[in-house]
């Protein structure tokens, strides 16, 4: 990975802390995407590359070791342990399993529970149904190359999804989008997705085989039918070191030109108005 030219930087105090931070970030990014089995460059090589002091380089390597990203092997060098994250592009209603398995079948989904329950207030508001209405709760664990990567709890209206509970012909060990499409007999519509971060509690840590407090990437989503009705509300917790979401953010001018062509309202402040 190429970096811009940097003048010699021998930071002290607050400047040193900042140098440790940005060198750590750059190395972490490089390690995540390099996918190399070669040992890390020497301290001297890193000093020359980033134009920082030996003390900064050593502190950076200590931070990365504490994070479990690298490990020093006596007589062989220091190696990257953490594999690169899976990239999931947020451009249409589909999930990570569909993305990854379309190339290589590395992701397995295991649905461990599906049963009828009464709907509570939060779920009712998300699904647009009444409190007390029957819903299906479905719990699943997703594994990557045999190791847990995420857990998901899904809430679906019993009409029409009660059929999935006792129907062995419906395979629940696959993408929820595929299950939903099979039941409604048509592709799904839009997905509302909310992404946040949290730390693993004791339950999540045990499920995902990570330490308590481990960084998690959380998603709350509502899957709609093409006609707009709500088909699923779900909550998931995934290992933050194994998954990254990507999305292209379009320019406001281009978006407003498109809205003008389609008759939609323009954004206030757009230079084309």
d(CA 157, CA 160) in angstroms, rounded, equals 7
pLDDT value at position 2? 47
At 80, give phi and psi (nearest 5°): -80, 130
d(CA 127, CA 223) in angstroms, rounded, equals 9
pLDDT digit string, tens, across residues 79-109? 877 666 777 777 778 787 776 666 667 889 9
Number of domains in the chain: 2
Domain presence at residue 35: yes
Domain presence at residue 254: no
The dihedral sign for the CA sequence 38, 44, 46, 49: negative
Paired residues of 137 in beta bridges: 115, 155
Q: Is the pLDDT of residue 270 over 50?
A: no
pLDDT value at position 83? 63
Q: Are residues 105 and 61 located together in one domain of the fold?
A: no
Q: Are residues 136 and 99 located together in one domain of the fold?
A: yes
CATH code assigned at 130 = 3.40.1410.10
Highest mean pLDDT out of 47-56, 155-164, 248-257: 155-164
Bond prior to 160 in cis (omega within 30° of 0): yes
Q: Are residues 61 and 92 located together in one domain of the fold?
A: no
Which residue reads 């040193």 in tokens?
Answer: 16
Q: Which domain holds residue 33?
A: 14-80
Q: Are residues 91 and 67 located together in one domain of the fold?
A: no
pTM over 0.85: no
Q: Are residues 110 and 202 located together in one domain of the fold?
A: yes
Q: Are residues 149 and 165 located together in one domain of the fold?
A: yes
164, 157 in Cβ contact below 8 A? no
Q: Are residues 192 and 72 located together in one domain of the fold?
A: no
3-class secondary-structure state, position 221: strand
27, 64 in Cβ contact below 8 A? yes
pLDDT digit string, tens, across residues 141-172? 999 888 899 999 999 999 999 999 989 999 99
Mean per-residue pLDDT for 220-240? 96
Domain presence at residue 255: no
pLDDT value at position 78? 83
Using alpha carbons, list the distances in angstroms from residue 241 to 27, 60, 148: 15, 18, 12
Tokens (6 digits) for 104: 């290589």
Residue 42, C-beta contacts closer than 8 angstroms, at least 6 positions apart: none
Which H or E run includes 130? none
pLDDT digit string, tens, across residues 7-50? 444 445 678 888 999 999 898 888 776 666 788 889 999 999 99
d(CA 231, CA 93) in angstroms, rounded, equals 13
């Amino acid at each position: 990975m190429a970096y811009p030219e940097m003048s010699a930087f021998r930071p002290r105090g607050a400047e040193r802390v900042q140098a440790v931070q940005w060198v750590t970030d750059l190395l972490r990014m490089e390690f995540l995407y390099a996918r190399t089995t070669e040992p890390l460059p020497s301290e001297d090589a890193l000093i020359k590359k980033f134009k920082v002091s030996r003390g900064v380089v050593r502190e950076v390597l200590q931070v990365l070791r504490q994070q479990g990203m690298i490990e020093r092997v006596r007589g062989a060098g220091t190696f990257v342990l953490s594999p690169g994250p899976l990239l999931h592009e947020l451009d249409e209603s589909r999930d990570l399993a569909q993305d990854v398995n379309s190339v290589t079948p590395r992701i397995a989904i295991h649905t461990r529970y599906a049963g009828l329950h009464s709907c509570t207030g939060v779920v009712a508001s998300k699904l647009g149904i009444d409190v007390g209405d029957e819903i299906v709760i479905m719990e699943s664990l997703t594994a990557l190359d045999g190791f847990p990567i995420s857990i998901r709890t899904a809430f679906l209206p019993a009409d029409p999804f009660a059929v999935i509970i006792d129907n062995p012909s419906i395979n629940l060990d696959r993408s929820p989008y595929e299950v939903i499409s099979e039941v409604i007999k048509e592709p799904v519509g839009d997905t509302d997705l909310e992404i946040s971060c949290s730390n693993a509690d004791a339950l999540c840590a045990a499920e995902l085989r990570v330490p308590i407090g481990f960084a998690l990437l959380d998603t709350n989503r509502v899957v709609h039918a093409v006609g707009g009705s709500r088909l699923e509300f779900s909550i998931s917790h995934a290992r933050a070191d194994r998954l990254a979401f990507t999305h292209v953010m379009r320019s406001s001018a281009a978006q407003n030109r498109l809205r003008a062509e389609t008759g939609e309202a323009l954004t206030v402040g757009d230079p084309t108005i």
